[in-house]
Structure 1
Amino acid sequence: MSSRDIFLAACNQLNDGLAGFGFKASQKGACLKKISIHKEFTFEISFQSSTLNSNGYVKLLPHILITSRRLKKWLKAQTDDVYSNDIIYSNQLGYISHFQEWKSWNVSGISQEKAIAEVIDVIKTYAIPIFDLFEDINSTIQFLMNKGTKFNRYTAQSLTPLAFMLCFASKEEAQCFFDNYLIGAPGKRLIMSLYKELKEGKAVDLMHAEFVDAFAIKLAFLQGLKI
C-alpha cells in the first residue's frame, strides 16, 4: 500500500470508531462533519496528512472546527463585504488535550492499531464535549461569558469566538467575554496600544493584521466594545 492508501485506511477506521456520534465522512474519509441540532453550526473533525510520509511512517494530525453560515453573513454585513469568516472556534487536537503540543500519530505498521485507538479516545474525551456544548446556544453564550474558551483544563483562552458573541449574544454578553479575555490576554500591551490608536482616529484596515488578535480587536472597536 502507498502512504496515501495507509492514511486513508486509517481515516476510515477512525470514522468507524466515531460512527455513533452522527458525523458524515467526506474527502475519502479525511473529514467528518456534523450539523448541530439547531442547524446553526457545523462541527468538523479533519485529518491532515504529510508530504513527508513514507510507507514506514504515515503521519496523521487531527483538527477540530466549529463554523456558522449565519456568522459569515453577519461579518460580511458588518464589514461592508470587506471581510467574512465562518469560524467560531478551531484547534489542533493536541492543544485541547493533555498532550499540549501540535500532535501527530503514526498510523502505519505495528503502530496503527494503538494509534487509531488513542486518537478515537482523545476525540471522545476532549473534542466531542466541546461540540456538545455548542448544541445549546444559550448555554454556549453563558459558558463563553464566564469561562471563555477554557473548555477543559488544557484549552487556552482564545479571542476567536468574539465574532460569534457579537453575532449571537447581546452586546453586554459580548463585552463580558471580551473583558474576561483581556484580564490575562497574551500581548495585552499590543491590544491596548492598537485600541488607543483606533480611538484616536487610526483607519480600520480589516485586511491587515498587526498581530494575531488584531482583527478581533478592530471588530470589537467597530461594534462599540470598550477596554
Structure 2
Amino acid sequence: MQAKEHQTMEERLNAIRAGVLGSNDGILTVVGVLFSVGAATNHQFTILIAGLADLFACALSMASGEYASVSSQADAEKVVVDRETQRLRVNPAGVAADIREFYLDRGVTEATADKIVAELMEKAPLRTILATKYDVQLGHYVGPWSAAISSLICAAIGGAFPLLALYFSPVQWQFEATIAATVVAVALTGFLSAKIGHGFTKKAIKRNVVIGLLTIAIHYGIGLFF
C-alpha cells in the first residue's frame, strides 16, 4: 500500500515538473518572438499575432514532446516488467541473487539478506526485483497524458504573461512592462523548480532571470537586423 502511494506521488510530481518546464519554455519563446518582431517593426497587430501564434505553437510542441518522451519511458518500464517476469519463470535463482546483492550493498549481513530474500521471493518476487533493481513500482507507470496536458496548459499560461503585458500596457511602456512581466514569471518558475527539486531557491531564481534577460537581449538584437 505504501509503495502504491509513493508511486502516485511520483506521478503527480512528474506532471508538476512537466508543467514548470512547459511554463518556462512558454515564457521564453513568446517573449523572444515579441522582442525580435518588435525590434523589426512597430506594427502592433503584427507583433501581437506573432506572439499569439508562437504561444500556440510552443504549447502544442511542448505537449507533444512531453507525451513522446514520457511514453518512451513508460514503454521502457513495461519492457523491464516483461523481462523480469520471464526471468522469474526460467531463472528464479538469478533474480534472488540480484535481490540479495541489493541488500548486501546496503550493509545487511549475509544471514539477514538470505532471510529477507527468502521471504520476499515467496511473497512478492516480481514487485521486489522491479523496486530494487530498477526503482519501478509494479502497476504504476509514468503517465504521458497527464504530463502532456500539464505541459500544454502551463506553456500557454507562461507565454501569456509577456503577451498580456504587451497587450494591456501603453505603447510607450510596452517593452518595459513585458520585461517586468517576464522577470516575474521566470522568477516564479525558478522558485517552483527549486522547491520541487529540493534545490537552491535563490540560485534557481537568479539563473532563470538571467536567462530570461539574455533571451530578450539576443532576440531584440536579431530583430534589429531586419
Compute the TM-score of the two structures, normalised by the length of structure 1: 0.26
Q: Which has the higher contact order (CA 8 A, sep 6+)?
A: 2
Structure 1 or 2: more helix by fraction: 2
Quick check: which has more Rg, 1 or 2? Answer: 2
